A and B are shown apart, each in its own frame.
Chain A
């Protein structure tokens, strides 16, 4: 789309509107909200991973001056609130009644006049636990005779959660029977945590006179949360207002409803005063929204000349104690079946099973469109493994098997219809920018000098932007999204969107869409979101869906208003509508370009001088149900050097080519990619939520759960190709997660590539220097 001069529309890297408050420290996050009479809530959590709850004695806590209430599971049971539904149709304890099932599970809540008093009171609550055997390995959970973690469920006699299959089993078997070569990869995509800088929290304010509940929440999906609150708590939906203040990062962590939100709301309802709950970092890491934790076994069948024939995958997912994956309800392993990736794979079959363990629930889509990250990692690692086995360069093997540009729309073996792509173009640009062929020669030379250089590639394809509503829903609610545009008489406008922002810059980019579509300068468009009383219904922001869904809705409603404005223009110019031409910002009479009115003129006339019979105003709302998902793609190329003395690996270069279709604000797109490449690096190099055999969480704070600082983070070289989505009104695809999805394999492939000549084929993430050192030692490469 052409850049339209003067209106700061699509394609311009304008500076962000939201920065004005953040750079002054004037953002308002949940913890910044203070209401008159507000109380403070803290949660008591289980120190053990699996135990019967024998007794809770809160007498001493209640006696402490300043303590207003102590809430236990028994109290909630009386209101039918001790359990709540998860986003995957399971149940989750709000406060434990029968057992605790993971370390950090919510056991009781203290509500007090001050946060310090509430924390003092936590230490005065006496809880007796009767320990039970602990399960931390999902394979052991599924063994016969394993203790049943979910004995609260009548129909549950084992720890098996779900079984799910995708693709064609028979066709895949036939493909494997014909293969010359089958390569295997067994790997664990480790349990991780999104860990946004702001933890989760709520200020629940239930007005005792009206019953109106105003919930200031860290929510990535305010409307969906409102509906779930209505269902869980039995509150009338019109009496629930969810408001998201500024949100300090989400990355999937703020998609689920957590027990703390429910207890704080119940406490405010029962006490009649506002209640604030903000979790600590430790609580955030041990109890909310883990991600990944997939044990994957992949097999790729190929001809001797490198043509891929079939893909077979077996998954075991570690679900923790409650199955709480945030994903469309028809898909038990999310959209993992995008696992055929960028390749023309005629046959594929995926078998997935889930197991309960004594770990925190979650399964959130951490900067990822529902398990796409795990899928992309597996195929990109398998392709690299195949390249070594066949003696074909990993770049050449990819180029040989890519879905070709003329094959789009492309139906994958697992049933996706890819909208558009030019994979060779992205790959070739990345190879050129990193000087791939020269690098391969240098790698040989360096190796001769005893230095270990590795070059890793990943050519990912994502599937993002859910719905369409026919196949995709969250807890039954179809995954459309919305935009309401009101153009005021003076030609300024307000846009209200059903999606949410937690740092993506929607206040800037959504105004740019209006600017290009309607010709109103983006600085004249105020963008609002995150207030369920005041913006139209939407499913929220995750799975890179804002631009594909609400972005499209914004475009469509702008065009609808433009069509009305055109009628007004004809009226003002005293000619027929057919004679009116449009260029950004103005209507003119065909053949007489000086006879023109601006969009602002038509806006004023919409309230002051509309044609006879026309409804007043220039306002409208559109709910957009996308016809398909969008499929962003790209190629990442990473160069690393391994220190043979320590096993440390350093990224020498990271070249990223992303194709997310049309870029609304290239500066913001690049920022998203930088962030994703960093979280991909974190996943590859250091992040892991691990447990000991007693179920103690070993990643409970930022000294143990490592996230990269500026010092470790590589420098990124970013490039673009642009292949518009054919079904999106402005051709955009979404970009928030591409780099987290695509880059982990590129980093790991680079490390393996440095060691491949010595026979090393896999190191599970996080690829720590200790693991690399072990591989070096075994390969006889250590110094």
Chain B
């Protein structure tokens, strides 16, 4: 069946089998391979994307359920050629090693910072607890998110001063 999904701001229309998982639509149909598959049971979060701003695990949702809605993947974090503060933070604080969980971690953190620009360490740990990482032990991921939060707050303060 035909679906239209707004992905990273662009409308995408495709004919998909009704049973197509959203993650396969993103990866195979749209060839946005930054979204990964790490398990079969909605446990690991490597496939996390934002659906209308809310983090969801795209391996456990059908593509047709996203019809008419808006999806953000890791490829959509860069805006106007600039890295998202989270992308900078992950690099600055060594929040990634093999990189496989990183897109999901950044997206779930983006949703957190949208809701709560000044999270505590505990807030961050809770927010990312649906996403697994085997390399980092999470400590530097937490630092990366807090780095991004700080940068985000500074930028919005600067922006409000400028206006």
Query: Which residues of A are in contact with B by a Cβ distance under 8 Å?
Result: 15-16, 18-29, 31-32, 34, 115-116, 194-199, 246-249, 251, 280-282, 502-505, 667-668, 670-671, 674-679, 701-703, 707, 709-711, 713, 715-716
Determine the distance from Cα of A24 to Cα of B86 in the docked complex, in whole angstroms. Answer: 11
- Are A196 and B91 neighbours in the complex by a CB distance under 8 Å? no
- Are B134 and A195 neighbours in the complex by a CB distance under 8 Å? yes
Give 28 pairs: A residue, B residue, CB < 8 Å, sorted on A.
A15-B91, A15-B94, A22-B99, A23-B83, A23-B90, A23-B99, A25-B77, A25-B103, A31-B37, A197-B100, A197-B101, A197-B134, A198-B98, A247-B98, A248-B38, A248-B98, A281-B40, A281-B44, A674-B136, A675-B135, A676-B137, A678-B134, A701-B41, A702-B41, A710-B138, A711-B126, A715-B139, A716-B137
Interchain nearest-CB distance for A736 vs B (Å) = 10
Determine the distance from Cα of A32 to Cα of B136 in the docked complex, in whole angstroms. Answer: 23
- Are B33 and A197 neighbours in the complex by a CB distance under 8 Å? no
- By a CB distance below 8 angstroms, the chain A residues around B133 are 197, 710
| B130 part of interface (Cβ distance < 8 Å) | yes
| B75 part of interface (Cβ distance < 8 Å) | yes
Determine the distance from Cα of A503 to Cα of B128 in the docked complex, in whole angstroms. Answer: 20
- Are A248 and B75 neighbours in the complex by a CB distance under 8 Å? no
Interchain nearest-CB distance for B35 vs A (Å) = 7
- By a CB distance below 8 angstroms, the chain A residues around B36 are 29, 31, 197-198, 248
**Which residue of B34, B83, B135 is within 8 Å of A503 (Cβ)?**
B135
Q: List the 3 shortest-distance A-B pairs measured between CB atoms, nearest first.
A: A25-B34, A503-B98, A22-B99
Interchain nearest-CB distance for A319 vs B (Å) = 25
Interchain nearest-CB distance for B7 vs A (Å) = 13
Find the residue from A196, A667, A670, A675 having the highest chain B CB count within 10 A. A675
- Are A703 and B34 neighbours in the complex by a CB distance under 8 Å? no
Determine the distance from Cα of A177 to Cα of B114 in the docked complex, in whole angstroms. Answer: 69
- By a CB distance below 8 angstroms, the chain B residues around A715 are 139
Nearest A residue to B84 via CB reads: A23
Find the residue from B27, B44, B101, B138 having the highest chain A CB count within 10 A. B138
Nearest A residue to B104 via CB reads: A197
Interchain nearest-CB distance for B99 vs A (Å) = 3
- Are B99 and A710 neighbours in the complex by a CB distance under 8 Å? no
Determine the distance from Cα of A26 to Cα of B35 in the docked complex, in whole angstroms. Answer: 10
- Are B19 and A251 neighbours in the complex by a CB distance under 8 Å? no
- Are B35 and A25 neighbours in the complex by a CB distance under 8 Å? yes
Determine the distance from Cα of A248 to Cα of B136 in the docked complex, in whole angstroms. Answer: 12
- Known A-B contacts A674-B140, A710-B125, A711-B126; the reply to A19 vs B75 at CB < 8 A is no
- By a CB distance below 8 angstroms, the chain B residues around A702 are 39, 41, 43-44, 132
- Known A-B contacts A23-B96, A28-B33; the reply to A674 vs B139 at CB < 8 A is yes
Determine the distance from Cα of A16 to Cα of B99 in the docked complex, in whole angstroms. Answer: 12
Determine the distance from Cα of A533 to Cα of B90 in the docked complex, in whole angstroms. Answer: 33
Interchain nearest-CB distance for A547 vs B (Å) = 15
Determine the distance from Cα of A31 to Cα of B33 in the docked complex, in whole angstroms. Answer: 9
**Which residue of A249, A505, A703 is within 8 Å of B100 (Cβ)?**
A249
Determine the distance from Cα of A19 to Cα of B139 in the docked complex, in whole angstroms. Answer: 17
| B87 part of interface (Cβ distance < 8 Å) | yes
| B71 part of interface (Cβ distance < 8 Å) | no
- By a CB distance below 8 angstroms, the chain B residues around A668 are 94
- Are B34 and A26 neighbours in the complex by a CB distance under 8 Å? yes
Interchain nearest-CB distance for A557 vs B (Å) = 26
Determine the distance from Cα of A677 to Cα of B74 in the docked complex, in whole angstroms. Answer: 29
Determine the distance from Cα of A18 to Cα of B125 in the docked complex, in whole angstroms. Answer: 25
- B43-76 CB contact bits vs A (8 Å, 1 = yes)? 1101000000000000000000000000001110
- Known A-B contacts A196-B98, A503-B135; the reply to A23 vs B87 at CB < 8 A is yes
Nearest A residue to B43 via CB reads: A702
Determine the distance from Cα of A667 to Cα of B140 in the docked complex, in whole angstroms. Answer: 10
| B32 part of interface (Cβ distance < 8 Å) | yes
Nearest B residue to A23 via CB reads: B87
**A-B contact sample (13 more), CB < 8 A, given A31-B33, A115-B24:** A15-B91, A18-B99, A24-B34, A24-B83, A31-B37, A116-B19, A195-B134, A281-B38, A503-B135, A678-B136, A701-B43, A715-B139, A716-B137
- By a CB distance below 8 angstroms, the chain A residues around B35 are 25
- By a CB distance below 8 angstroms, the chain A residues around B46 are 197
| B92 part of interface (Cβ distance < 8 Å) | yes
- Are A22 and B33 neighbours in the complex by a CB distance under 8 Å? no
| B4 part of interface (Cβ distance < 8 Å) | no
Determine the distance from Cα of A703 to Cα of B43 in the docked complex, in whole angstroms. Answer: 7
Interchain nearest-CB distance for A729 vs B (Å) = 25
Determine the distance from Cα of A503 to Cα of B135 in the docked complex, in whole angstroms. Answer: 8
Nearest B residue to A704 via CB reads: B41
**Which residue of A199, A280, A282, A678 is within 8 Å of B137 (Cβ)?**
A678
Find the residue from A16, A18, A195, A248 having the highest chain B CB count within 10 A. A248
| B97 part of interface (Cβ distance < 8 Å) | yes
Interchain nearest-CB distance for A312 vs B (Å) = 35
Residue tally, chain B, CB below 8 Å to A: 57
Q: Is chain A's interface secondary structure helix, strand, loop, or mixed overall?
A: loop
| B142 part of interface (Cβ distance < 8 Å) | yes
**Which residue of A16, A21, A194, A195 is within 8 Å of B94 (Cβ)?**
A16
- Are B142 and A15 neighbours in the complex by a CB distance under 8 Å? no
- By a CB distance below 8 angstroms, the chain B residues around A22 are 96, 99, 102
- By a CB distance below 8 angstroms, the chain A residues around B75 are 24-25
Determine the distance from Cα of A679 to Cα of B78 in the docked complex, in whole angstroms. Answer: 32
- Are A713 and B137 neighbours in the complex by a CB distance under 8 Å? yes
Determine the distance from Cα of A465 to Cα of B153 in the docked complex, in whole angstroms. Answer: 46
- Known A-B contacts A116-B19, A675-B136; the reply to A24 vs B40 at CB < 8 A is no
- Are A674 and B137 neighbours in the complex by a CB distance under 8 Å? yes
- By a CB distance below 8 angstroms, the chain A residues around B99 are 18-19, 21-23, 27, 246, 248, 503
- Are B98 and A667 neighbours in the complex by a CB distance under 8 Å? no
Determine the distance from Cα of A713 to Cα of B33 in the docked complex, in whole angstroms. Answer: 29
- By a CB distance below 8 angstroms, the chain A residues around B136 are 671, 674-675, 678
Interchain nearest-CB distance for A712 vs B (Å) = 8
Interchain nearest-CB distance for A706 vs B (Å) = 10
- By a CB distance below 8 angstroms, the chain B residues around A25 are 32-35, 73-75, 77, 103
| B131 part of interface (Cβ distance < 8 Å) | yes
- By a CB distance below 8 angstroms, the chain B residues around A502 are 98
| B129 part of interface (Cβ distance < 8 Å) | yes
- Are A709 and B34 neighbours in the complex by a CB distance under 8 Å? no
Determine the distance from Cα of A702 to Cα of B36 in the docked complex, in whole angstroms. Answer: 16
Q: Give the contacts of B117-160 with A (CB-CB under 8 A).
A: 124-126, 128-142
- By a CB distance below 8 angstroms, the chain A residues around B132 are 197, 702, 707, 709
Interchain nearest-CB distance for B60 vs A (Å) = 12
- Are A710 and B96 neighbours in the complex by a CB distance under 8 Å? no
Interchain nearest-CB distance for B16 vs A (Å) = 11
**Which residue of B31, B38, B125, B126 is within 8 Å of A197 (Cβ)?**
B38
Interchain nearest-CB distance for A504 vs B (Å) = 7
Interchain nearest-CB distance for A526 vs B (Å) = 18
Determine the distance from Cα of A483 to Cα of B67 in the docked complex, in whole angstroms. Answer: 52
- Known A-B contacts A23-B83, A197-B46, A249-B98; the reply to A709 vs B131 at CB < 8 A is yes
Determine the distance from Cα of A667 to Cα of B92 in the docked complex, in whole angstroms. Answer: 10
Determine the distance from Cα of A199 to Cα of B124 in the docked complex, in whole angstroms. Answer: 27
- Known A-B contacts A248-B99, A710-B142; the reply to A677 vs B43 at CB < 8 A is no
- Are A29 and B134 neighbours in the complex by a CB distance under 8 Å? no
- Are A23 and B98 neighbours in the complex by a CB distance under 8 Å? no
**Which residue of A115, A194, A280, A505 is within 8 Å of B97 (Cβ)?**
A505
- Are A713 and B40 neighbours in the complex by a CB distance under 8 Å? no
Determine the distance from Cα of A380 to Cα of B79 in the docked complex, in whole angstroms. Answer: 52
Determine the distance from Cα of A270 to Cα of B124 in the docked complex, in whole angstroms. Answer: 51
- Are A249 and B134 neighbours in the complex by a CB distance under 8 Å? yes
- By a CB distance below 8 angstroms, the chain A residues around B92 are 15
- Known A-B contacts A197-B132, A707-B132; the reply to A713 vs B43 at CB < 8 A is no
- Are B129 and A711 neighbours in the complex by a CB distance under 8 Å? yes
- Known A-B contacts A251-B134, A503-B135; the reply to A701 vs B34 at CB < 8 A is no
- Are A675 and B137 neighbours in the complex by a CB distance under 8 Å? yes
